[in-house]
Homo-oligomer: A and B are copies of this chain.
Amino acid sequence: MRDIIFVTGNANKLKEVKMLLSSDSTSSINVINKALDLDELQDTDLVKIARDKCKQAMKFLEPGQEVFVEDTALAFDEFNGLPGAYIKWFVKSMGLDKIVQMLDSFPNKGAKAITTIAYADKNGEIHVFQGITQGNIVPSRGSLNFGWDSIFEPIETNNLTYAEMSKEEKNKISHRSRAFEQFREYLATAE
Contacts and interface: CB of A to CB of B under 8 A. Distances in A.
A44 B89 contact: yes
A62 interface: no
Taking residues whose C-beta sits less than 8 angstroms from the other chain, chain A's interface range is: 20 to 34
Interface in A29-66: 39-44, 52
A98 interface: yes
A147 interface: no
A11 interface: no
Q: Indicate how many identical chains form the complex.
A: 2
A104 interface: yes
Interface of A: 39-44, 52, 78-86, 89-90, 92-94, 98, 101-102, 104-106
Contacts of A106: 98, 101
Given A40-B41, A42-B42, A101-B105, A90 B82 contact: yes
A79 B94 contact: yes
A44 B79 CA distance: 20
A186 B81 CA distance: 41
Given A40-B41, A82-B89, A98-B106, 13 more contacts: A39-B52, A41-B41, A42-B42, A42-B85, A42-B86, A42-B89, A79-B90, A80-B93, A80-B94, A82-B86, A86-B89, A101-B106, A105-B105
A46 to B, nearest CB: 12
